[in-house]
Structure 1
Amino acid sequence: MITATLSANTQHLYPLIADLGLILMTAGVSVLIFKKLKQPLVLGYLVAGFLAGNHFDLFPTVSESDSINVWAEIGVIILLFSLGLEFSFKKLMKVGGASSITAVVQIVAMIFIGYICGIALGWSTMNSLFLGAILSMSSTTIILRAFEEQDVKGKKFVSIVFGALIIEDIVAILLMVLLSTIAVSQNFSGTDLLISAIKLVFFLILWFLGGIFIIPTLLKKTKDLLTDETLLIVALALCLGMVILATKAGFSPALGAFIMGSIIAETTYAEKIEHLIKPVKDLFGAVFFVSVGMLINPGTLVEYAVPVLIITIVTIFGKTFFTGLGALLSGQPLKQSVQAGMSLAQIGEFSFIIATLGMTLGVTSEFLYPIVVAVSAVTTFTTPFMIKSSEKAYIKLEAILPTKLKLAIENYSYNSQSIKVTSNWQQFVKNNITQILLNSVIIIAIILFSEFYLSPMVADNKFGNVISGLITLVLVMPFCYAIGFRPFNEKMIESLSKEKKYSAPIFITRLFRISIVIMFLVFLLNIFFSPLVSLLALFAVFVLVSIFRKRIVNQYLRLESHFLSNFNDREIQSNKDAEMQNIKLDFYDGHLTNFTISNHLDLVGKTLEELKFREKIGVNVVQIKRGDVVIYIPSKDQRIFPGDEISIVGTDEQVIEFTQFLKEHETEASEEYNNLVLQKYTLYNPDFIDKSIRDSNLRELTKGLVICIDRPDCRILNPESDVVLRKNDELWIAGESKLLNKYFEL
C-alpha cells in the first residue's frame, strides 16, 4: 500500500521536477553564453524558453506548461514585491506628479494609436479597442530585470519609469473594468468606471494606513525572534497575505505584492528583507522570463508577419515618443525624458491579461492573442538595447535640435522643478484635504467591518444591533474628532485669521468638517438603529463626547503618534546612522528632532555662526535638507533659508527651548523672502563657463547664492568663490524668483 502510494506520488511529481530541471539547465547554459557575449541576461532566458518550449522540436520540451505558468505568476509576485521594497510610498509621493503625467499621456496616446492601427488593418471595433489598451501597458518585470543587469537604478530617469509603471498598473485595472462593461453592454458606463476608481483609491489608502500602523510594530515587537530564516518566511507570508486580500477585493495579485513591498520599505528591516528575498526573486524571475520565451511561436510570426511587424514598430516608436513627450510635459529634462521613453517601449504582463480578457468575453478574434505574444517577445528582445542606447540617442537628438527649442525645453524643465515656499493657505487646504480623506477612509472601513462581520457574529443576541452599534461608535469616535475638531496647526490658523480674506473660508471649512462628522454618525446610527432611536442616540453621542472629550482626543493622538513613528522610522534611523558616523553625543538623553524653517522667521538668510544655536541653547544642527540636497554636519558658514528642514540633537529641555526660540523670532513674512526659491539651472551661457564663481559675478547679477553644483562625477555643496564653473554644470541657486527668472531668460 505504502509502495503504491509512493509510486503514485513519484509519477505525479516527476513531470513537475523534470520540467523545472529542464528549464533551469537550459537557462543556465543560455545565460552563461549571453554573459560571455556581454548581452542582457533577459535575452538568454527568452532563448532558453524558446528552446524548452513546444515550438522547438530539436530539444527536450516541457510536458506540463500549466505548472510552469503558476511558477511564472509567483515570479511576477516576487518581482513586484521586490520592486515595492525599493520604491516606498514616500518615493511614490515625490515622483507622483511627474510619473502620473508621463503615464497618462502615454496611455491615452497609445490607446488612440492602437485603435487607429487596428482599424487600418481591417480589424473590428472591439479588436481595435482591445489592441489600443494592450499597447498602452508596459512590462514592469522586463524593465526591472533590464535595469538590474545594466546597473542604472541610481540614475534620475529610473524613478520616473518606476512611478509610471505603477500608474499604468493602476490604470490597467480601470481599463479592464471599462473594457468589460463595453464588451458586455456595448455601451460606455461612466458610473461603473467611477465606482471602480473610488474603490481602488479606498483600498489603497486603507491598506497603506493599516499596513504602516501594524507591520512595523509587528516586526519591532518580534525583533528578538527574527533570524534570517524567520524574517524571510514572515516577509513572504506578508507578501502573499496582501496578494490574497488584493485578489479578494478584485485587484491584481501583482498590485497587492507591490503594496506590501512599499509598506515594508518604510520599516528598518527593508534592506535586510531585500537582501534575503533576492535569491528567491532571481529563481522565480528566471522561471517567469523562460515562460515568456516558451510562448514564442515561429509559425505565428510567419503567418501574421505583417501585423506583427506593423504593431511592433508602432509600439516601439509610439511608446518612445509619447512617453518622452509626457515626461517633458511633466517638467523633466530632455535627457531623462528620452531615457524614460526608450525604457518603456514594450508590452508585457498586463497586455497578456487584457488580451485574455477579450478572449474570455468572446469579443476579440483568436488571432489577437498570438500577435500580442509575438509583439511582446520582439519588444522584450529590443528593450535592453533601447535602454542601453538611450543616452547615445539623447546626444544625437540634442545635436540636431534647434538651439531655441533646447533653451525653451530647459527653461520649462527648470521652472517646473523649482522649489518654492508654500504659503500658509496652501498648506491649510492641503492639511484639511489629507485629514478628511484619510480619517474618512478609516471610518467607512470600520462601519463596513461592523456591518458585514461584527453584526452577523452577534445576530442571535436580542441586543445584537445595539452591541455592534455601540462598539462601532466607540471605534469611530477618535477619527470623527480628527475630522471635525483636530487643530493640526493652531499657529497657522491664527496667522491666517488675521487676514480678513481668509476668515470666511476658514469658518466655512470648519462647518464643512463638522457636517461630515454628523453625516457619518447619522449614516452609522441608521444602519444599526431605527430612525427614532437614531435621533436619541445622536443626542446621547454628543453628550458622551462632551463628557469624554479629553479621553477621545488622547486616544486619537496616541494612534496618530504611533502611525507617524512607524511611517518615519526608517528615515529617522537612516539620519541617525549618518549623523552618528560624524558626531558623538556628549549627553545621555540627547535625541534627534526635525524643524522646518518658515518664511516668517527673521533668522532666514543668516549663517549658523551668526545664529549661535549651540552657544545660546546647546543644540547641534546635524543636518539641513534643502530640496533634494541633504547637507550632513553643515559648516558654520551655512545659511538658513525658508523651506529648509533642519535636524537638531539636544535634550528634551533643549528641544523645548529651541521651539520657543523659533516662536520668539516669528515675524511677518518680509517681501524679500516671499518669492524666495531654490532653483536649478544648467550652465550653458559662455559668459560664465571656465570662470570662477567670483569672477562670473553670478551673485551680483542675480542677487542669489550658489548653494550646490551637480556634476556627473561629483556634487559640490556650498562651493567656494574660487570654484571654476564648467559647461553643463547644474547650479542650485537660492534667490528672489523674479530676478532669477528674468536674468536666466536672457
Structure 2
Amino acid sequence: MHDLPILVNITVALVAAFAGGIVARLLKLPPMVGYLLGGVAIGPFTPGYTGNADTIRQLAEMGIAFLMFGVGLHFSLHDLWVVRRIAFPGALLQLLILAPLVILVTTLWGWSFPSALIVGLAVPIATSTVVMLRNLMDQGLLNTSQGKAVIGWLVLEDLITVLILVLVPTLSSHSSGPIWQTISLALLKAAAFAAIMLIAGTRLIPALLRRLSLTASREIFIVAIVLVALGTAIAASAFFGVSLALGAFLAGAVINETTLSQQVESEILPFRETFTVLFFVSIGMLVNPLHLIGHLPEIAILAVIVIVGKYLLTLIMGIVLKWPERTTLVLAAGRGQIGEFAFILGETGVAVGLLAEEQYSILLAGAIVSIIVNPFVFRTLPATQYVLRKMPALLSRMQQQPQQQEVSGATYHDHVVIVGFGRVGEHIIKVLGQLQVPRLVVDLNVQRINTLNQKQIPTLYGDVANSDILAHAQVDKARAVVVTIPDETAAEIAIMNVRRISSEVPVIVRATTQEGLHRLFARGATAVIQPELEGGLEIVSRTLSALDFPREQIDEYTDCVRNDLYDTSKLTPEEQHALEQIAVRRPR
C-alpha cells in the first residue's frame, strides 16, 4: 500500500467525503458541508488516519481547474446584461461597503492588512454558486425573473473573483518592484492571455472538438476536453504567470459559445464533481478544531456579517434603488452565504503567504455556518414578504419598478407535468398543446428551458431526483405526471417524490430495461413503457395483421403481454387463451 500513495490518498479522501456527504444529506444540509467535515476528519489535527495534505492539495488544484472550467461553461454576458440595472450597482455597492467593514473588524483582531484584505474581498463577492443554485431549484425559482437576477449577479461576481485571483499574488511580499508596477504587469499578462484565448482560442478549440466529435470515439473526445481544461490552465500559469483558475475559466467560456457546450458539460461532469469534492476535502484538512474553539467570537462575528449583514444590505439596496419586491427578497436571502470562491481566494492567499492557515480556518468556519443557515433563510421568504407588505411606504417604493410577469405556482391545476424534454417529451408537449391541455415541463437543461420559454410553455428548472422541484410543480393538482427521462434511477426517485406528494395522480414512466419495469412499478408507477419491448410487440402485431388474423384478438394478446410486463419467456393463461382465439379464427 505504501507504494501507491496517490491512489491511497484519493481513496481515503473520497471515503471521507462520501461519509460526510451522506450525513449532510440526512441532516438536510448541503453536501459541501459534509465534504469539508470529511476533510477535517482525515486532517492532521484530528485523531485517526491522516491523509497526505500535499498530495491531496495537488489533486485539489485539479478540482479548482475543473470547477472554474464549469463556471466558464455557464458564463453568459447575456444573462448579466439582462439584469445589469440590478447586478452592477448591487455587486459594486456590496463590495464597497462590506469589504471596508470586514477589513476594519479583522484588523481590530490584530490581523495584518493583507490578511484582512483577503477576507474583506471574500465576504462580499464569494457567494457560493453551488449553494445558490440548489436553493433556487429547491424553491422553484431558478427560471423566474428573480432567479435570472440572481444568476446575472453571480456572473458579475465570477468576473470580479477572476480579476481578484489575478491580483492577489501581486500583493505578496515576494513580489519585487513598486506595487503599481507589479499590478500593471499582472493585468497586462492576464489581458494578453485573454486576448489570445478570445481571438485564437475561439477558432482553434471549438474546431478541434468538432473534428474530434466526428471520429465516433467518445474516449478521444473526453481526453480532449480534459486536456483543454487542464492544459489551458497550466499554460496560463506557466507562460503568462496568471492563476490556473483564470486559464480554466476562459477555456470554459470559449467552449460555451459553441454548439458543443452541452456535450462538453455532460462529459466533463464526472471529472468536475470528483475533483471538486477532493478540493473541498483538502480545504477541510486545513481546519484545526481546537484552534476554532479558541476563536468562537471571531467566527460568530464573521458569520453574522455574512448572514445578517449581506441580507440587510441587499434589502436596503432594493428599497433605495427601487428593485422589484420579490426580486429583492430572493437576492437578500440567497446572498447571505459564502462558499467555494471564498475557499479558492483564501487558499490562494495562504499559498502566497498573505493569509495564515489559522486565519483561513476562521474564514472557513464562518463560511460553513453561513452555508448551513442559508437554506433556512430561503424558507422564510413567504413570512418576510408578508411582513414587508405590512409596510406600505417601503412596498410602494419597491414596486415603482414593474415586476416581470411570469407563471405562478398557484396557477398550476388540471395540468400534465412532463419530466424531461427529449424527443419523447417534445412529442407529448406538442400533442397536449394541440389538445389545449395545460402543460408544465421540468428539465435540467438550460438551453431546453430557454427554448420552451420562447414558445411560452411553462417550465421549471430542476433535478427531480435531488430537489423539491415536484412540490413546486404541484403534482397533487395535476391530471398526470409523465416521466420521459432515460435514467431509470432518476425516474425511480422521481416516482417516489411524486408519491410522497400524491398517491392518486397517474404516473406514466419510460423504462430502458426489463428489470427496470418491475422496479418502476414497485415504486408506484401507474404505467411503464419500455420502448424497445413495445416496439417488438408492435412488430408482432403488424405481422399478424399482415397475415389477416382478426384485429380484436391481436389486440387482446398484446394487452395481455403488456399486463405481464412484456415477459415473453413464458405464456400466461391469458396469453395462451388469446393465442388460441387467434388460431380458431385463422384465415382460410
1:213 and 2:203 matched: yes
User: How far apart, in 1, do the equivalents of 2:114 and 2:74 lie?
Assistant: 38
1:50 and 2:54 matched: no
Per-residue deviation, 1:364: 6.3
Per-residue deviation, 1:297: 2.2
| Among candidates 104, 116, 120, match of residue 116 of structure 1 | 104
State the Cα deviation string for residues 69-95 of structure 1 (Å, max 9, x = none). 122221222122223223344444544
| Among candidates 7, 11, 15, match of residue 21 of structure 1 | 11
Cross-structure match for 2:394? 405
User: How far apart, in 1, do the equivalents of 2:352 and 2:279 lie?
Assistant: 26
Q: Percent identity?
A: 24
- Aligned residue runs from structure 1 range 346-361, under 5 A: 346-349=337-340, 351-352=342-343, 355=346
1:370 and 2:356 matched: no
The 1:161/1:52 distance shift into structure 2, 3 A limit, reads farther
Cross-structure match for 2:66? 78
Cross-structure match for 1:66? 54
User: How far apart, in 2, do the equivalents of 1:50 and 1:72 lie?
Assistant: 15
State the Cα deviation string for residues 556-594 of structure 1 (Å, max 9, x = none). xxxxxxxxxxxxxxxxxx9xxx99x98xxxxxxxxxxxx
Per-residue deviation, 1:124: 5.2
Is the 1:54–1:62 contact (alpha carbons within 8 Å) kept by the matching residues of 2? yes
User: How far apart, in 1, do the equivalents of 2:58 and 2:78 lie?
Assistant: 32
1:277 and 2:265 matched: no
State the Cα deviation string for residues 41-68 of structure 1 (Å, max 9, x = none). 22332332233333332xx423311111
| Among candidates 241, 244, 268, match of residue 231 of structure 2 | 241
Cross-structure match for 1:389? 379
State the Cα deviation string for residues 173-227 of structure 1 (Å, max 9, x = none). 3652674499988x974x6656655654554344223332333333333432143
Per-residue deviation, 1:33: 3.9
Per-residue deviation, 1:341: 3.3
The 1:225/1:326 distance shift into structure 2, 3 A limit, reads farther
Q: Per the alignment, in what secondary structure is the counterpart of residue 2 of structure 2?
A: helix
Is the 1:238–1:260 contact (alpha carbons within 8 Å) kept by the matching residues of 2? yes
1:40 and 2:30 matched: yes
| Among candidates 326, 330, 335, match of residue 326 of structure 2 | 335
1:264 and 2:255 matched: yes
User: How far apart, in 2, do the equivalents of 1:327 and 1:193 lie?
Assistant: 34
Is the 1:105–1:322 contact (alpha carbons within 8 Å) kept by the matching residues of 2? no
1:160 and 2:149 matched: no
User: How far apart, in 1, do the equivalents of 2:291 and 2:142 lie?
Assistant: 35
User: How far apart, in 2, do the equivalents of 1:26 and 1:357 lie?
Assistant: 24
- Aligned residue runs from structure 1 range 599-614, under 5 A: none
Amino acid at match of 2:200: G
- Aligned residue runs from structure 1 range 563-574, under 5 A: none
Unaligned runs of 5+ in 2: 405-421, 431-449, 458-471, 475-588
Per-residue deviation, 1:323: 4.5
- Aligned residue runs from structure 1 range 114-193, under 5 A: 114-121=102-109, 123=111, 125-140=113-128, 142-143=130-131, 146=134, 150=138, 153-155=142-144, 156-157=146-147, 158-173=150-165, 176=168, 179-180=171-172, 189=180, 193=183
Per-residue deviation, 1:331: 6.7
Is the 2:114–2:171 contact (alpha carbons within 8 Å) kept by the matching residues of 1? no
State the Cα deviation string for residues 677-696 of structure 1 (Å, max 9, x = none). xxxxxxxxxxxxxxxxxxxx
State the Cα deviation string for residues 711-739 of structure 1 (Å, max 9, x = none). x989xxxxxxxxxxxxxxxxxxxxxxxxx
User: How far apart, in 1, do the equivalents of 2:44 and 2:166 lie?
Assistant: 35
User: How far apart, in 2, do the equivalents of 1:38 and 1:362 lie?
Assistant: 36
Q: Per the alignment, in what secondary structure is the counterpart of residue 345 of structure 1?
A: coil
Unaligned runs of 5+ in 1: 1-9, 416-573, 583-625, 634-711, 715-746
Per-residue deviation, 1:299: 0.8
Per-residue deviation, 1:319: 2.5
Per-residue deviation, 1:141: 5.9
State the Cα deviation string for residues 611-652 of structure 1 (Å, max 9, x = none). xxxxxxxxxxxxxxx9x973589xxxxxxxxxxxxxxxxxxx
- Aligned residue runs from structure 1 range 686-697, under 5 A: none
- Aligned residue runs from structure 1 range 265-344, under 5 A: 265-324=256-315, 332-344=323-335
Is the 1:49–1:289 contact (alpha carbons within 8 Å) kept by the matching residues of 2? yes
| Among candidates 21, 30, 36, match of residue 31 of structure 1 | 21
Amino acid at match of 1:244: I
- The alignment covers a number of residue pairs equal to 418
TM-score, length basis structure 2:
0.60
The 1:134/1:144 distance shift into structure 2, 3 A limit, reads closer
The 1:351/1:243 distance shift into structure 2, 3 A limit, reads same
User: How far apart, in 1, do the equivalents of 2:200 and 2:84 lie?
Assistant: 21
Is the 2:87–2:153 contact (alpha carbons within 8 Å) kept by the matching residues of 1? yes
Is the 2:389–2:395 contact (alpha carbons within 8 Å) kept by the matching residues of 1? no
- Aligned residue runs from structure 1 range 87-106, under 5 A: 87-95=75-83, 98-106=86-94
Cross-structure match for 1:251? 242
Calculate the aligned-residue CA RMSD, in Å: 4.2
User: How far apart, in 2, do the equivalents of 1:281 and 1:338 lie?
Assistant: 32
